[in-house]
C-alpha cells in the first residue's frame, strides 16, 4: 500500500520571506544564497524573493547613486551560479537599455538571467514614492519551465483586476508569482487576502503572494505570504513577522482542469509566446508531502503589539545599537514602551531611568520601580529637583513679575531630555521616547524634552490603543506585568501640582475618534462635527493638530501601525494659512 504521506507534485514552489537590510548588498545576498541552498535541498523548482530583496526596501535616494546600482547588479551576477537546477526570481533595481531605472525582478536559472520583468504599476501615495526613481514597465513575459507556465508581477501590479495577472492568465499562465514589499498597517493582511481571493477567481489562476518581512526606519513589513488557488481558497499562509522559507506544491494539471471558461488562452498571439527556461523536467519520483502551512491569524491587538516589537528590534539592531534607555515615569506610555523593548531585546539590554521632580507623586515612584522589577530591568533614580531649582534661580531676575506657566513646566521636561541624552552619549544607549499618537497629534509634548531621543516606539499608537496593548500584554503574561495602578490612574505629566491631561485636552475617548477622522480618514471639519461630537471641541482639536506640525517634523522616527501615520504618510506644510475652524486658545503645553 502506498504511503499517503508521499506525493508526486507537478511543481514545488518556495517563497523566501526574508528580512533584508537597506543598502546591505552583501548581507542580503548571503540571505538569498542560504535560501537557494535550502530550497534546493527541499526539492523546490521555483524560488521567489521579495521586491528589491537585493537592496532592501525602500532604498530611497540610494537609487540616485550610480555606484549603488552598479554594485547591485554585480552582486546579482555573483548569485547566478547558485541557480543551477533552480529558477530564482530576485527583486533588484535594473538599468534598462534606455538608461531608465526599473523596479525589476530577475528570472534566473542555470547560471544566467533568462529575462527581467519590470514593475508596471508604480505606487506614488502614502509611504510610497516610486515615481521619483523608477520608470514603469510595459510588458508581461510568460515563462515555461518543466511544462508549467508562470508569470511574475511586482507588488502594486496585483491590485489591478485587469492588470498583469489577468494578462498572464489569458496567456496561459498556470501560476502568477507576485513579489512584494508591502508595509504593515492594522487590518492590511485581511485586506490583501480578500483581494487575492476575488482576483484569483476573476482571472482563474492561482497567485503566490510573497511579502518581505522586517523593520526599516518607521516601516514594518509583516510577511504573511500566501498561495491562493484559482477558486479563491488559501492553500498556504505563512506567519506574520517571522522570517522563513515557505513552500507549496502546484498541481498544474489540476489548474488546467479547473480553469474557468471566461479566461480563455490567447496563445495564438505571438506576444504571449512563453520564454522557455532550459530543458528541465519535473521530478517523477515520490517525495514526502509538504505539511500544511496555514498560520492561525492574530487578533488585532496582538498583531499591533507584534509589529511594535518587531519594528523596535530591527531598528535597534540594524542601526548597530545593543542597549536602549527608557525614561520611566510611572505612567502608561513609558510602561508600554519598556514592555515592548524587553520583548524585543531581552531585559539585560533595556535600561530604565526615573527622573523625579518636586511634583512627582509617591505612587508614580512606586509604580516605576515595581514595573522595573516585573520586567527585570535595572532602574536608575536621578532626581531633577535641584537642577530645576538652579534653573529657576538663574531665570528669576529675567522673569520677575511674571506668573509661572508652561515655561516652568517645560523646563522640567527639557532637563530630563538633557539627562537621558547624556546617558545615551556615555553608554551608547539608544533612547526610546514614549510619546503616543494622541499627544503628538495635538502637540502635547515638549521639544527637546520628552521628545528627545532616537526612536519613537509608540508614535503612531493612539492613547486608547496604548491601554488595550497594556491589558493584552498583562493577560498574555497571566499575572500583572504592567502594575494595575498604572492602567487605572488618570494620565498626568506631573509638571505642576495635581495636573491631569484632561486639564489641557479632551478625554482620550473623545480625542482619539476626532484624530482618526481628521488625520487618518481626511474628513472635513463639517463631516467630523456631523458625527455628534461637540463642535467647539472638534474645532479646537483640529487647530491643535495643524499648529503642531513644526513639532512633529523634529520628532524621532517611529513605527507606522495605522493607515496614515505622521511623517512619510502625512506631509503637511508648517507655514500654512488655510483655516476652516474658529480661533481657540492654544494648548497650554505647546
Catalytically active residues, by annotation: 51, 119, 155
**Residue 436's CB: how many other CB atoms inside 10 A?**
28
Closest C-alpha among 358, 352, 347, 346 to residue 330: 352
Is the peptide bond preceding residue 339 cis, with omega within 30 degrees of 0?
no
Q: How far apart are CA 221 and CA 180, in angstroms?
A: 10
Q: How far are the Cα atoms of 26, 149, 163, 209, 319 from residue 206, in angstroms, in the given order? A: 33, 12, 15, 10, 39
Burial 483-517 (b: 16+ CB within 10 A, else e): beebeebebbbbbbeebebeebbbebeebbbbbbb
Q: Are 443 and 589 in contact (CB under 8 A)?
A: yes
Q: How far apart are CA 47 and CA 70, in angstroms?
A: 24
Closest C-alpha among 148, 118, 93, 139 to residue 277: 148
Closest C-alpha among 407, 357, 423 to residue 384: 357
Q: Are 581 and 480 in contact (CB under 8 A)?
A: no
Q: How far apart are CA 99 and CA 101, in angstroms?
A: 7
Q: φ, ψ for residue 276 (rounded to 5)? A: -80, 125
Question: 431 CB contacts (<8 Å, ≥6 apart)?
Answer: 324, 325, 326, 327, 420, 421, 423, 424, 452, 453, 454, 455
Residue 121: enclosing H or E segment and its boundaries? none
Q: Are 176 and 15 in contact (CB under 8 A)?
A: no
Q: How far apart are CA 380 and CA 114, in angstroms?
A: 60
Question: 530 CB contacts (<8 Å, ≥6 apart)?
Answer: none
Q: How far apart are CA 261 and CA 193, in angstroms?
A: 24
Closest C-alpha among 456, 454, 356 to residue 445: 456
Amino acid at each position: 500500500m502506498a504511503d499517503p504521506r508521499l506525493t508526486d507534485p507537478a511543481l514545488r514552489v518556495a517563497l523566501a520571506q526574508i528580512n533584508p537590510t537597506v543598502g546591505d548588498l552583501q548581507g542580503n545576498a548571503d540571505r538569498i544564497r542560504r535560501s537557494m541552498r535550502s530550497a534546493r535541498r527541499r526539492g523546490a523548482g521555483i524560488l521567489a524573493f521579495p521586491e528589491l530583496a537585493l537592496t532592501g526596501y525602500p532604498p530611497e535616494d540610494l537609487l540616485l547613486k550610480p555606484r549603488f546600482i552598479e554594485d547591485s547588479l554585480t552582486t546579482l551576477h555573483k548569485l547566478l551560479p547558485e541557480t543551477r537546477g533552480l529558477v530564482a526570481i530576485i527583486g533588484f533595481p535594473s538599468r534598462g537599455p534606455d538608461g531608465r531605472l526599473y523596479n525589476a525582478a530577475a528570472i534566473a536559472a542555470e547560471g544566467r538571467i533568462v529575462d527581467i520583468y519590470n514593475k508596471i504599476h508604480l505606487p506614488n501615495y502614502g509611504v510610497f514614492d516610486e515615481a521619483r526613481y523608477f520608470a514603469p514597465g510595459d510588458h508581461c513575459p510568460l515563462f515555461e519551465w518543466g511544462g508549467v507556465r508562470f508569470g511574475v508581477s511586482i507588488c502594486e501590479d496585483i491590485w489591478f483586476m485587469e492588470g498583469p495577472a489577468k494578462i498572464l492568465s489569458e496567456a496561459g499562465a498556470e501560476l502568477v508569482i507576485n513579489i512584494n514589499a508591502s508595509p504593515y498597517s492594522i487590518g492590511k493582511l485581511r485586506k490583501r487576502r480578500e483581494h487575492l481571493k476575488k482576483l484569483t477567481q476573476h482571472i482563474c489562476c492561482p497567485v503566490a503572494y510573497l511579502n518581505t518581512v522586517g523593520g526599516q526606519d518607521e516601516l514594518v513589513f509583516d510577511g504573511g505570504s500566501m498561495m491562493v488557488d484559482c477558486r479563491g481558497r488559501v492553500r498556504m499562509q505563512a506567519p506574520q513577522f517571522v522570517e522563513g522559507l515557505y513552500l507549496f506544491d502546484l498541481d498544474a494539471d489540476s489548474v488546467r482542469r479547473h480553469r474557468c471558461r471566461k479566461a480563455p488562452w490567447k496563445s495564438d498571439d505571438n506576444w504571449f509566446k512563453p520564454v522557455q527556461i532550459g530543458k528541465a523536467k519535473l521530478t517523477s519520483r515520490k517525495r514526502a508531502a509538504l505539511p500544511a502551512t496555514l498560520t492561525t491569524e492574530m487578533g488585532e491587538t496582538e498583531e499591533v503589539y507584534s509589529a511594535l516589537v518587531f519594528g523596535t528590534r530591527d531598528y535597534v539592531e540594524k542601526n548597530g545599537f545593543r542597549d536602549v534607555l527608557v525614561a520611566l515615569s510611572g505612567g502608561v506610555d513609558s510602561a508600554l514602551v519598556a514592555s515592548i523593548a524587553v520583548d524585543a531585546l531581552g531585559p539585560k539590554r533595556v535600561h530604565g531611568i526615573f527622573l523625579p521632580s518636586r511634583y512627582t507623586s509617591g505612587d508614580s515612584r512606586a509604580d516605576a520601580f515595581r514595573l522595573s522589577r516585573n520586567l527585570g530591568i535595572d532602574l536608575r533614580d536621578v532626581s531633577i529637583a535641584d537642577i530645576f531649582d538652579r534653573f529657576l534661580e538663574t531665570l528669576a531676575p529675567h522673569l520677575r513679575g511674571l506668573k509661572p506657566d508652561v515655561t516652568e513646566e517645560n523646563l522640567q521636561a527639557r532637563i530630563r531630555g538633557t539627562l537621558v541624552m547624556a546617558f545615551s552619549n556615555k553608554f551608547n544607549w539608544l533612547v526610546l521616547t514614549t510619546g503616543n499618537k494622541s499627544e503628538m497629534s495635538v502637540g502635547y509634548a515638549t521639544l527637546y524634552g520628552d521628545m528627545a531621543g532616537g526612536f519613537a516606539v509608540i508614535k503612531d499608537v493612539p492613547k486608547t490603543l496604548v491601554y488595550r496593548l497594556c491589558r493584552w500584554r498583562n493577560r498574555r503574561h497571566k499575572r500583572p506585568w504592567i502594575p494595575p495602578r498604572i492602567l487605572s490612574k488618570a494620565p498626568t505629566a506631573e509638571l505642576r501640582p495635581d495636573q491631569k491631561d484632561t486639564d489641557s485636552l479632551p478625554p482620550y475617548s473623545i480625542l482619539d475618534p476626532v484624530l482618526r477622522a481628521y488625520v487618518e480618514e481626511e474628513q472635513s471639519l463639517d463631516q467630523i462635527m456631523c458625527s455628534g461630537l461637540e463642535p467647539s471641541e472638534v474645532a479646537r482639536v483640529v487647530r491643535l493638530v495643524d499648529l503642531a506640525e513644526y513639532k512633529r517634523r523634529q520628532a524621532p522616527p517611529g513605527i507606522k501601525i495605522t493607515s496614515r501615520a505622521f511623517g512619510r504618510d502625512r506631509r503637511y506644510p508648517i507655514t500654512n494659512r488655510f483655516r476652516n475652524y474658529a480661533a481657540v486658545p492654544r494648548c497650554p503645553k505647546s
